[in-house]
Amino acid sequence: MSLDAPRLSAADLQDLPGRRPVVSTEVPFSGRVWDVRRDEVDLGGGGVVTRDYVEHGGAVLVLAVREDRGEPEVLVIRQYRHPVGAEDWELPAGLLDVEGEAPLEAARRELAEEADLRAGRWEELFAFTPSPGSLGEVITLFVATGLSEVPAEERHEREHEEAGMPVGWVGLSDAVAAVLGGQVRNGPLVVGVLALAARLD
């Protein structure tokens, strides 16, 4: 049956936004950062189903790129992530948790807070949903170039899991090799590195 499915073009490959009718909803768990919501959803011919998911306000992801040493290099940060039991190499990122703050402003803030960097040029690449079956998060990806350091007296004081995070620059080809070789698994890093490589190819 699937072999007989139609061949689609790039123009056909567009998500269809639109929430199905919610018959009832509740919040069985309310956490410090996220809540878990349980909805009874009417799928029409598919009947009414229960869906539990994490409510999420969204996030930003920053590809800080320098090209002053030849090949483009990307800034990476290593941070402990308890749910997966590992210190992940990641891109600078953060939650949209400041009321009224636009994604670009959040990206500027996160780059300064996590990497002590500012960027003279910003470009929004796209937004993506990392785990749409269980998580309402939408991540907006930005490329930051024209980098300079935040003056020492203006730097953010890091604490908790952000204190002492290793930071480094990796050549784009090495970053792609690490992704395809399974050395790094962090989803936003994988998406960001491969998107940048495809864009510059």
The tens-digit pLDDT sequence of the chain (201 residues) is: 798 999 999 999 999 999 999 999 999 999 888 899 999 999 999 899 999 999 998 999 999 999 999 999 999 999 999 899 999 999 999 999 888 899 999 999 999 999 999 999 999 999 999 999 999 999 999 999 999 998 777 676 756 666 578 999 999 999 999 999 999 999 999 999 999 999 988
Question: Which of 103, 117, 127, 109 shows the shortest CA–CA distance to 64?
Answer: 117
pLDDT at 156: 65
- 40, 55, 101, 162: which is the annotated catalytic residue? 162
pLDDT at 152: 72
3-state secondary structure 15-59: CCCCCCCEEEEEEEEECCCCEEEEEEEECHHHCEEEEEEEECCCE
Count of helix runs (H) and strand runs (E) in the chain: 3, 10
pLDDT at 160: 60
pLDDT at 184: 97
Task: List the beta bridge partners of residue 59.
Answer: 95, 139
* Helix axes 187-200 and 172-180, enclosed angle (nearest 10): 130
CATH superfamily, region 59-200 = Nucleoside Triphosphate Pyrophosphohydrolase (3.90.79.10)
Which sequence spans correspond to the domains of the chain? 17-55, 59-200
pLDDT at 98: 87
pLDDT at 159: 61
- 159 catalytic? Reply is no
167, amino acid identity: V
- SS3 at position 149: strand
pLDDT at 94: 94
Question: Which of 15, 166, 187, 197 shows the shortest CA–CA distance to 80?
Answer: 166
The two three-digit tokens of residue 44, written as one number = 């029409």
**Is the Cβ–Cβ distance between 92 and 109 less than 8 Å?**
no
